[in-house]
Amino acid sequence: MQDGDRLYEFDKIKVTFEPYFLDSNGNETNGVGADMYEIVMTIREHPFLQDVLGVKEHFWNIFIMDALIGNTDHNNSNWGIIFSLFID
C-alpha cells in the first residue's frame, strides 16, 4: 500500500449492509455470517461495492487460489478492498 491508501476489510463492509437482506435460511441479516450466499449478495448488492471494478472477480480468484493451496484460514477479515486517495 502507498501513502493515502486505505484498506476496507470485507467483514467490516458486510456489517454495514442496509437494508438487511435474507440469508440462505430466510432469516434477516446484515451480512455478519460466513454463509457463501451472504458473501455473494454483499458483493452484488452493497452500495459501497457497486463502483468497485473487478471486486467479484477478485473474490473468486482468491477463492480458487485458496482451494489450490489448501488455505483453511480464509475468512471475511482476511481480504478487502484498497482505495487510493489521490493527494495533489
Nearest to 52 by CA among 16, 20, 81, 10: 81
The fraction of the chain above a pLDDT of 90, given in percent, is 12
Q: How many other C-beta atoms are found inside a 10 Å radius of the C-beta of residue 11?
A: 17
Q: Is 27 exposed, middle or buried (0-12, 13-18, 19+ CB in 10 A)?
A: exposed
Domain residues for 37? 5-84
Cα–Cα distance measured from residue 5 to residue 82, given in angstroms and rounded to the nearest whole number: 6
- How many distinct structural domains can be found in the chain? 1
Nearest to 17 by CA among 33, 35, 29: 29
Residue 21: the pLDDT is: 74
What is the pTM for the complete model shown? 0.74
- Mean pLDDT, the chain, integer: 82
